[in-house]
């Protein structure tokens, strides 16, 4: 199912399909049919009733629009669904119809349905994350010797390698992945508690149906129903927010590197990507734009979900009813950001020559720290800094390289050999521990299954 036009910049095709009316409705019906089978296995309802209910629980035979209208009147989609399913079953087996939704409450349907949808979203998100991580690992390895300007407070700073920058993106994304995987594991649990979370209507059969239903749906079994305890879902929402923030940082970096004045990297183009309706020469950072838009949406959504956590007693009014659209938008936004950055990383072009030119354009002033450290050993901090301030002003005014200006200053060349000054502005010789840090980031971002035992 294609995304609705209004959501076309907020989701992907697979996620739009997953959160479509048909998919969500089928998840609700999956709960109802699994409940009937679980109850039949526990001897609570007849086996024939379970078969009739399962046979009728097909989304294609229901009117999703009518159910949505009914949900608006009932305050929950579970009530009109149970009525519609009962009517559907009654046409084939009137006796079986009275066992529809047996012992459940409307929130059980709604909560478990969204959990089932989240379960199906998990491999979509993790699959695109694996693509992204693999692309960033390759990018870091290819670019490990490619030097570029570091930038602090948006200003030119000491050189780094593009390999280190890519490894930094990978490290934060891997940490975000670990957070989201853990949150998914915690959140994918059954909801089934009946009216007040006690399954009183099932008497002594409650625990056995509870266990059987979890097995039927392939969900973890919680210690107890969690109608008014939304911490697991909140943790998943927060994890999506953190991961999308890391993706947004990567997108921000790439979009800045794509600026015409910088020109050091670019997203893949072609096939309608990145064009302008009026300026044919443009190659816009589309994947970055989509990711940054998602990163801007997520904090508000996270806040809204956390606000809805404060729920009353055993069943809340307004709290859980707020969650479906928030969860849908959170997961789709995170998924879009992941897929967009995977595409960007897989096709990212890097201009090593332009990176070198941008270093050269600083006239060597970004190596002032290196010169200062060399002079401090001979002259002390204060005197060394004063000499550098004078040299930097002269370099800027005369548009000459810092090393050449320093070589003409008696206070400098009497302490530093000419050979040292000639090598002052070689970026590869002032990268510090860049490569060690890059390797450490790649090692920590390695899939645990692929790590070798020490």
The DSSP bridge pattern shows strands 349-350 and 155-161 to be unpaired
Residue pointed to by tokens 């998924």: 335
CATH (residue range 360-429): 1.10.40.30
Q: What is the pLDDT of residue 277?
A: 44
- Give the three-class secondary structure for 220: strand
Catalytic residue set: 276, 315
User: Does domain 5-138+152-350 sit in CATH 1.10.3720.10?
Assistant: no
Give the angle subtended at the CA of 287 by the CAs of 286 and 293, to the nearest 5°. Answer: 90
| Low-confidence spans in the chain with pLDDT less than 50 | 276-277, 279-280, 451-454
At 414 the three-state DSSP class reads: coil
Task: Output the six-digit token pair for 451.
Answer: 């790590």
Structural domain boundaries in the chain: 5-138+152-350, 360-429
Q: What is the pLDDT of residue 1?
A: 60
- pLDDT score recorded for residue 447: 72
Print burial letters for 69-105: b (CB count within 10 Å at least 16), e (below 16): ebbeebebbbbbbbebbbebbbeebeebbebbbbbbb
**For position 276, what pLDDT does the model report?**
46
- Per residue in 156-169, pLDDT tens? 999 999 999 999 99
> How far, CA to CA in Å, does 127 sit from each of 7, 36, 41, 123?
22, 33, 36, 6
User: Distance between CA atoms of 229 and 319, rounded to whole angstroms?
Assistant: 10
- For residue 274, what pLDDT is reported? 55
């Amino acid at each position: 199912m294609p995304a609705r036009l209004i959501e076309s910049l907020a989701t992907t095709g697979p996620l739009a399909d997953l959160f479509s009316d048909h998919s969500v409705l089928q998840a609700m019906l999956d709960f109802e049919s699994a409940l009937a089978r679980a109850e039949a296995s526990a001897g609570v309802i007849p086996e024939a009733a379970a078969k009739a209910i399962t046979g009728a629980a097909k989304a294609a035979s229901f009117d999703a629009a009518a159910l949505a209208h009914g949900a608006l009147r009932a305050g929950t989609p579970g009530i009109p669904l149970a009525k519609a399913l009962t009517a559907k079953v009654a046409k084939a087996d009137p006796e079986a119809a009275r066992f529809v939704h047996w012992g459940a409450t409307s929130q059980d349907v709604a909560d478990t349905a969204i959990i089932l949808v989240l379960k199906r979203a998990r491999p979509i998100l993790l699959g695109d994350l694996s693509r992204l991580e693999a692309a960033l690992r390759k990018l870091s390895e290819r670019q490990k010797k490619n030097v570029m300007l570091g930038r602090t407070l948006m200003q030119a700073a000491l050189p780094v390698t593009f390999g280190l920058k890519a490894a930094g993106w990978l490290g934060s994304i891997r940490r975000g992945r670990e957070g989201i995987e853990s949150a998914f594991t915690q959140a994918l649990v059954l909801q089934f508690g009946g009216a007040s979370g006690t399954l009183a209507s099932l008497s002594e059969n409650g625990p056995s149906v509870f266990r059987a239903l979890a097995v039927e749906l392939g969900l973890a079994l919680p210690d107890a129903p969690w109608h008014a305890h939304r911490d697991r879902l909140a943790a998943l929402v927060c994890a999506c927010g953190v991961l999308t923030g890391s993706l947004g940082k990567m997108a921000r970096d790439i979009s800045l590197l794509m600026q015409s004045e910088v020109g050091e990297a670019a997203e893949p183009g072609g096939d309608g990507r990145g064009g302008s309706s009026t300026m044919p020469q443009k190659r816009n950072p589309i994947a970055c734009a989509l990711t940054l838009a998602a990163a801007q949406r997520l904090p508000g959504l996270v806040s809204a979900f956390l606000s809805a956590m404060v729920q009353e007693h055993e069943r809340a009014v307004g709290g859980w009813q707020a969650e479906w659209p928030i969860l849908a938008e959170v997961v789709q936004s995170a998924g879009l950001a992941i897929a967009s950055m995977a595409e960007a990383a897989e096709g990212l072009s890097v201009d090593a020559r332009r990176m070198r030119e941008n270093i050269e354009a600083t006239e060597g002033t970004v190596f002032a720290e290196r010169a200062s450290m060399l002079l401090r050993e001979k002259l002390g901090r204060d005197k060394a800094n004063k000499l550098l301030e004078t040299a930097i002003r002269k370099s800027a005014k005369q548009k000459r390289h810092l090393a050449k200006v320093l070589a003409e200053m008696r206070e400098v060349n009497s302490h530093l050999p000419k050979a040292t000054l000639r090598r002052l502005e070689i970026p590869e010789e002032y990268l510090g521990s860049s490569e060690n840090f890059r390797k450490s980031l790649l090692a920590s971002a390695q899939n645990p299954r692929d790590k070798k035992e020490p």
